[in-house]
Amino acid sequence: MKLAGFLLLLAGWGIVIAACILLVPATARGLFVLAGLGVELLGLALVFRSHIVLRGERG
């Protein structure tokens, strides 16, 4: 889960960069940047979650 979270963080950043490079219209660019940030937040939530689970497993 932790690895998936970090990969999602990187994927989100990739979306943000791609939006800046590939899109010109401000609205589309803004929406894709927000989407990239959303993916990053999902990744962050997974990494946080993985640390909670690991702590619980250790008891």
Partner 1 sequence: MTPLPTTALSGDAVVLCSFFVLLVPLAAGGIALINTGLGRSRSAAHSMLSSLCVVAIAAIVYFLCGSAWQGFAGRPAHVFLFGGREWSWLAAEPFFLRGLRVEDSAATLVVLLQMFSVGLAALIPLGSGADRWRLGARCASTALLAGWTYPLFAHWVWGGGWLAQLGSNYGVGRGFIDAGGSGTIQSLGGLSALAIAWILGPRRGKYGRNGMPAAIPGHNSVLVLFGSMLALVGWSGLNISGAILFAGSEPARAPSIAINTLLAASAAGMAVVLLTRFRFGKPDASLAANGWVGGLAASSAGCALVTPASALLIGLMAGVLVVFAIELLEWRLTVDDPGGSIAAHAVGGLWGLLAVGIFARFPGQRPYSAYAPESGMSGQWLAQLVGIATLLGLMLPLIYLLNWLLNRVYPLRVAAEGESQGMDLHELGADAYPEFATHTDDYGQH
Task: Give least dist CB 46 to partner 1, A.
Answer: 12
* Alpha carbon distance 36, 28 (integer Å): 12
Task: Give least dist CB 40 to partner 1, A.
Answer: 5
Task: Give least dist CB 11 to partner 1, A.
Answer: 8
Dihedral angle over CA of 26, 30, 32, 35, nearest 10: -170
Point out which residues bind partner 1 (CB under 8 A). Answer: 6, 9-14, 16-17, 20-22, 26, 29-30, 33-34, 36-37, 40, 43-44, 47-48, 51-52, 55-56, 59
* Alpha carbon distance 47, 40 (integer Å): 11
